[in-house]
Amino acid sequence: MNWTNRGAAAWEQVVGRSREAHAVVIDDMPVYRHGVMHLLGKMPGIGRVELVEPDALAARKASLPAPALLVFGMPPDLADGWHLLRLASLVLKPRRLLLVSDNMWQRLPPGLDGRFARSLSRSASLAAIERDVRALLDLPPPAEAPPGQHAGPAGFHRPFHVLA
């Protein structure tokens, strides 16, 4: 798996030099997939989030622009998962990868630099997912809550089922 154009910020690599990154989410768990899509869709700096069914990956048009970020949910069958990830890297040609897995010991394949790919447990908090996406896409930190507005208790994060 080879991620290219690693030197420039991810948003600079998008066709048309738009400041809005394009993200693709592939996961076989519909609730998780839609929760991540919702989270990414609300993040400033991400313009479009595309959901791709694992079965529809091979049929995706190669002429579509490469996404700045691929959020890939590793299926329970690791052999199928690694095969699907290879296929996704060839078809989509993503510039950054966030690998999500049920297996908390899951590691990135050898040769993938932490600046361009990261792995998270599927049970990671929304804050952890957002932190890693921001780091991968070189997005600025989230804006502070305006004075007079309470952002909620520290450490409180809504569960995915609220987002889906």
In a domain, 6, yes or no: no
What is the domain extent for residue 23?
11-140+155-163
Nearest-5° Cα angle at 102, 49 to 108: 75
At 43, which CATH number? 3.40.50.2300
In a domain, 149, yes or no: no
- pLDDT, average across residues 3-16: 44
Contacts of 158 (CB under 8 A, 6+ apart): 126
Rounded distance, CA 35 to CA 55, Å?
Answer: 20
Given a cut of 60, whether residue 151 has pLDDT beyond it is no
Write down the pLDDT at residue 161: 40
pLDDT band at 18 (very low <50, low <70, confident <90, very high): low
Query: What is the tens place of the pLDDT at every residue in 32-44?
Result: 888 999 999 999 8
In a domain, 40, yes or no: yes
In a domain, 147, yes or no: no
Which token pair is 136?
A: 């991968």
Rounded distance, CA 25 to CA 33, Å?
Answer: 7
How many domains would you assign to the chain? 1
Smallest CA-to-CA distance from 100 within 3, 11, 10, 32 is with 32
Compare 6 and 71 and report the one with higher pLDDT.
71
In a domain, 26, yes or no: yes
In a domain, 102, yes or no: yes
Write down the pLDDT at residue 56: 83
Given a cut of 80, whether residue 156 has pLDDT beyond it is no
Given a cut of 60, whether residue 12 has pLDDT beyond it is no
Write down the pLDDT at residue 38: 93
- pLDDT, average across residues 133-145: 79
Write down the pLDDT at residue 23: 94
In a domain, 82, yes or no: yes
118: left (phi over 0), alpha (psi -120 to 50) or beta: beta
DSSP 8-class letter at 145: P
In a domain, 124, yes or no: yes
Q: Where are the beta strands (DSSP E) in the chain?
A: 21-26, 46-51, 69-73, 97-101, 117-121
Query: What is the tens place of the pLDDT at every residue in 62-116?
Result: 777 889 999 999 988 888 988 898 888 888 889 999 999 887 566 676 766 667 8
Host H or E run for residue 32: helix 30-42
Length of the chain: 164
